[in-house]
Chains A and B, each alone.
Chain A
């Protein structure tokens, strides 16, 4: 296979794995974050502190723990997930879940409470009022998701331990960068890093430009 072909394939796999991880983490983290942002309950601050702290999860340690879980001799060994992209998706979504939850909670909390009250007084039910808050915090939630995605696509530990950097199956941009660096192919390593960074810049700029339009469209 050609160098360009390899590069495209690795890049697409990176986008797929981390994109899925971000989607999964959003599906789970957004409701939790909304709940924590809207409701008041005991131990809320402790819980928030825990999720904030988990944002510092060392990727290699998480990779190691999940390796032991997914290993054939581990508790989830029967699913034979280790060294597949699925293991990487699960691992990365666990890694970024605290980021999505923390940033969502924070952004929801900072929406003016009057918006919810206003919606309720105008005859909206709880669900519609929640949607109004969600609309208002759109930018912050977008940041939560894109921060999670960025962390997932740029991390190495989980991808390496759970994916194994198998060519054609689990090799992603970060594991390829690490490999080419140890191989002494510094130029190639730097090239791959440039691809990763450019990709993230383009995606985030597109998201931010799109945000304005979506916002306008949501509001009409």
Chain B
């Protein structure tokens, strides 16, 4: 019996050592720090931008730990609705609108933008290079229907990129749910990286976010060509939305607001603008806060407004007044713009009632 007792004691000792060290490790990492949980889209996280922002933020806010949960925009929003995230960073205006309209989200700030890109085989069999995005998709579809192989691969995972793709197909005059079942159309059901690999292996076209594409090209993983880029209809806008603490119990609203204030300040905006330029020779993201606040340059501002602003009482807002909580000095630029406008149009910018219509793409 003594032997068994010794073995038992040994096992208990080992288990408690592992347990104690694990708990110590965990407490050391989280001790005295509040954790701000941020649910975010993969295209932001996978580029590594958020790790850089996290480092900067935690340097200047030693009492806070940022915890990023990287998932598609759809899942990010679900996390927030369940109260498992305090803040979301996403890129899908229509889904954001629904989220805020159901009063789950407040105090939206647009903080970055870039452009999606249509990529394909270097030989470009369908001949879409240099076309506009809509014409290019029409060409791809025609080409696909006139031959037997596969031509286009779609993520088909309800991510922000996939939502964008659906919008583009419908602009081009096709029903995504119909063409999805045609022989030339491949649904990968996977993330951007996997989908790009698939496009590369099978010589297909696809819609990609610029970050993943540049990264995969730079790493020599794919030999696809960027065929259609920039332009209004490929615009991609990232915004930060705080989870509404009156609707979802237990979220850290003040911490979330502190982060939103920070991400639109100059320091963070310059990190965003310059991220990856050195390594990849091209911008992955562009700073958006200044553009929104000053309405300039007018062309980009107009694109952002048309695509990512929400309409309330006949006015465009990055966040309609009804969906703002507290005073965090996020939208004071509107008063300045309004004064300027009043001189010109004597129009009022601030509606009081709350009938809101989501701005469909113009």
Q: Does B191 contact A (CB under 8 A)?
A: yes
A168-B31 Cα distance, complex, nearest whole Å: 13
Q: Mark A5-29, 1 if CB is under 8 A from B, else 0.
A: 0000000110111011001000000
Interface 9-residue window, one of B130-138, B202-210, B213-221, B291-299: B213-221
Residues of B near A77 (CB, < 8 A) are 83
Query: Is the pair A128, B1 in contact by a Cβ cutoff of 8 Å?
Result: yes
Query: Is the pair B193, A183 in contact by a Cβ cutoff of 8 Å?
Result: yes
Query: Is the pair B37, A71 in contact by a Cβ cutoff of 8 Å?
Result: no
Query: Is the pair B191, A182 in contact by a Cβ cutoff of 8 Å?
Result: yes
Query: Is the pair A183, B46 in contact by a Cβ cutoff of 8 Å?
Result: yes
Query: Is the pair A166, B68 in contact by a Cβ cutoff of 8 Å?
Result: yes
Residues of B near A165 (CB, < 8 A) are 69-70
Say whether, besides A20-B19, A23-B15, A179-B46, A186 and B4 are in contact (CB < 8 Å). no
Say whether, besides A16-B18, A83-B84, A184 and B4 are in contact (CB < 8 Å). no
Which parts of A97-150 form the interface with B (CB within 8 Å)?
A: 128, 131
Query: Is the pair B69, A83 in contact by a Cβ cutoff of 8 Å?
Result: yes
Which parts of A59-109 form the interface with B (CB within 8 Å)?
A: 71-74, 77, 82-85
Say whether, besides A72-B84, A85-B22, A167-B51, A182 and B67 are in contact (CB < 8 Å). no
B142 to chain A, nearest CB (A): 32
Which parts of A175-202 form the interface with B (CB within 8 Å)?
A: 179, 181-186
Residues of A near B216 (CB, < 8 A) are 184
A185-B216 Cα distance, complex, nearest whole Å: 9
Say whether, besides A83-B84, A184-B193, A169 and B67 are in contact (CB < 8 Å). yes
Residues of B near A217 (CB, < 8 A) are 3
Q: Does B339 contact A (CB under 8 A)?
A: no
Q: Does A218 contact B (CB under 8 A)?
A: yes
A164 to chain B, nearest CB (A): 4
Say whether, besides A83-B84, A166-B67, A183 and B29 are in contact (CB < 8 Å). no
Which parts of B301-347 form the interface with A (CB within 8 Å)?
A: none
Which of B1, B29, B67 is within 8 Å of A83, CB to CB?
Answer: B67
User: Which residue from chain B places its CB closest to the CB of A220 in the assembled complex?
Assistant: B3
A13-B42 Cα distance, complex, nearest whole Å: 23
Residues of B near A128 (CB, < 8 A) are 1
Query: Is the pair B219, A184 in contact by a Cβ cutoff of 8 Å?
Result: yes
Query: Is the pair B83, A218 in contact by a Cβ cutoff of 8 Å?
Result: no
Listed residue (B19, B22, B193, B194) with the most chain A CB atoms within 10 angstroms of its CB: B22
Q: Does B233 contact A (CB under 8 A)?
A: no
Query: Is the pair A169, B18 in contact by a Cβ cutoff of 8 Å?
Result: no
Query: Is the pair B22, A74 in contact by a Cβ cutoff of 8 Å?
Result: no
Q: Does B7 contact A (CB under 8 A)?
A: yes
A164-B70 Cα distance, complex, nearest whole Å: 7
B239 to chain A, nearest CB (A): 21
Instruction: Please report the total number of A residues contacting B with Cβ < 8 Å.
Output: 36
Query: Is the pair A72, B46 in contact by a Cβ cutoff of 8 Å?
Result: no
Query: Is the pair A183, B48 in contact by a Cβ cutoff of 8 Å?
Result: yes
Residues of A near B7 (CB, < 8 A) are 214, 218
User: Which residue from chain B places its CB closest to the CB of A167 in the assembled complex?
Assistant: B51
Which of A15, A72, A168 is within 8 Å of B82, CB to CB?
Answer: A72
Residues of A near B67 (CB, < 8 A) are 83, 164, 166, 169
Q: Does B150 contact A (CB under 8 A)?
A: no
Residues of A near B51 (CB, < 8 A) are 167
A166-B33 Cα distance, complex, nearest whole Å: 15
A24-B25 Cα distance, complex, nearest whole Å: 19
Q: Does B170 contact A (CB under 8 A)?
A: no
A71-B69 Cα distance, complex, nearest whole Å: 14
B92 to chain A, nearest CB (A): 19
Residues of B near A82 (CB, < 8 A) are 84
A72-B85 Cα distance, complex, nearest whole Å: 9
User: Which residue from chain A places its CB closest to the CB of B15 in the assembled complex?
Assistant: A23
Q: Does B34 contact A (CB under 8 A)?
A: no
Q: Mark B13-52, 1 if CB is under 8 A from A, else 0.
A: 0010011011001100110000101000010001110010
Residues of B near A169 (CB, < 8 A) are 26, 29-30, 35, 65, 67
A78 to chain B, nearest CB (A): 9
List 25 interface pairs A-B (beta carbons < 8 Å), by A numbering: A15-B18, A16-B22, A20-B15, A20-B18, A23-B15, A71-B82, A72-B82, A73-B82, A82-B84, A85-B22, A85-B26, A128-B1, A165-B70, A166-B67, A169-B29, A169-B35, A181-B193, A182-B192, A182-B193, A183-B46, A184-B215, A184-B219, A185-B219, A217-B3, A220-B3
A interface with B by C-beta (< 8 Å): 12-13, 15-17, 19-20, 23, 71-74, 77, 82-85, 128, 131, 164-169, 179, 181-186, 214, 217-218, 220
4 new A-B contacts, CB < 8 A, other than A72-B82, A72-B84, are A19-B18, A73-B81, A166-B68, A185-B219
B interface with A by C-beta (< 8 Å): 1, 3-4, 7, 15, 18-19, 21-22, 25-26, 29-30, 35, 37, 42, 46-48, 51, 54, 65, 67-70, 81-84, 191-194, 212, 215-216, 219, 221, 248-250
